[in-house]
């Protein structure tokens, strides 16, 4: 799958007629299988960009294409069958670990075991006598935030999503746990990943095919870690400030 944004502009319109331009003339191409990081200050347009790709809003100007098809022409159910988004708070229900992963769909044992391994959930299963039948508790209270994120990754892998999007999913986790989650995503094959992150960890950032730096609704910079560091501009400042 490829995703292309062509001259995309988007304005949040309030009832008071006060308007906020969230994206300004954004042009971007993400190719099949690429791993892309998105960084920027709060309000820079990071999450808005993702929300438009996920069809949260359709009242933008310009075009967004998924495999050369305008996403406005793709039914949401079909789009969400190909894209999976993980938020900071993962939806969990008070049932078994297995049912929280499979969402009550039927999968073979081998298939389930494979995604548990790929999502890094093996220890969670092995360390509880009930294994996959252990209860996660109301809102996942029996699991850590990192474990809940891994369940969300396992869900995406089970439904064979072509694109995995993390919308600041690791922002509430400590740096070590967040790095393990991002490494888990980066280890997946045959999947595009788009990760909005505040965790500017060098060994993670170096693994991305490209890093987008958002500023005031625009793509201010784009390149690999080394390319952006050599520019000594916005990315360089953000990275040095956080390290």
Q: What is the pLDDT of residue 171?
A: 80
Q: What confidence category does residue 189 fall into, taking pLDDT thresholds of 50, 70 and 90? A: confident
* SS3 assignment for the chain: CCEEEEEEEEEEECCCCCEEEEEEEEEEEECCCCEEEEECCCCCCHHHHHHHHCCCCCCCEEEEEECCEEHHHCCHHHHHCCEEEECCCCCCCCCEHHHHHHCCCCCCHHHHHHHHHHCCCHHHHHCCCCHHHCECCHHHCCCCHHHHHHHHHHHHHHCCCCEEEEECCCCCCCHHHHHHHHHHHHCCCCCEEEEECCCCCHHHHCCCCEEEEEECCEEEEEECHHHHHHHCCHHHHHHHHHC
Q: What is the mean pLDDT of residues 196-201?
A: 89
Q: What is the pLDDT of residue 17?
A: 56
Beta bridge partners of 167: 196
Q: What confidence category does residue 152 fall into, taking pLDDT thresholds of 50, 70 and 90? A: very high
Percentage of the chain with pLDDT > 90?
80
The per-residue pLDDT for range 40-88, each reduced to its tens digit, is: 998 999 999 999 999 999 999 999 999 999 999 999 999 999 999 988 8
Mean pLDDT score of the chain: 93
Compute the distance between CA of residue 176 and CA of residue 180 in angstroms, rounded to an integer.
Answer: 6
Q: What confidence category does residue 148 fall into, taking pLDDT thresholds of 50, 70 and 90? A: very high
Instruction: Answer whether residue 15 shows pLDDT above 70.
Output: no
Instruction: Answer whether residue 228 shows pLDDT above 70.
Output: yes
89 or 215: whose pLDDT is higher? 215
Q: What is the mean pLDDT of residues 117-139?
A: 95
Q: What is the pLDDT of residue 18?
A: 64
Instruction: Answer whether residue 185 shows pLDDT above 80.
Output: yes
């Amino acid at each position: 799958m490829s995703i292309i944004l062509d001259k995309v502009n988007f304005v949040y319109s309030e009832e008071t007629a006060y308007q906020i331009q969230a994206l300004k003339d954004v042009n971007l191409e993400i190719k099949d299988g690429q791993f892309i990081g998105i960084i920027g200050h709060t309000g820079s347009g990071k999450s808005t960009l993702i929300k438009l790709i996920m069809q949260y809003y359709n009242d933008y100007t310009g075009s967004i294409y998924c495999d050369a098809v305008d996403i406005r022409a793709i039914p949401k159910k079909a789009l969400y069958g190909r894209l999976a988004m993980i938020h900071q708070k993962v939806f969990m229900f008070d049932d078994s670990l297995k049912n929280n992963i499979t969402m009550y769909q039927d999968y073979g044992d081998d298939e389930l075991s494979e995604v548990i391994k790929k999502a890094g959930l093996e220890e969670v299963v092995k360390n509880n006598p009930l294994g996959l039948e252990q209860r996660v508790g109301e809102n996942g209270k029996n699991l850590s935030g990192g474990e809940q994120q891994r369940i969300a990754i396992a869900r995406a892998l089970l439904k064979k999503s072509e694109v995995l999007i993390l919308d600041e999913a690791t922002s509430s986790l400590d740096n070590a746990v967040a790095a393990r989650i991002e490494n888990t995503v980066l280890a997946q094959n045959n999947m595009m990943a788009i990760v909005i992150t505040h965790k500017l960890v060098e060994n993670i950032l170096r693994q991305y095919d490209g890093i987008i730096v958002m500023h005031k609704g625009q793509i201010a910079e784009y390149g690999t870690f080394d390319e952006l560091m050599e520019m000594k501009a916005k990315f360089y400042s953000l990275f040095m400030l956080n390290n």
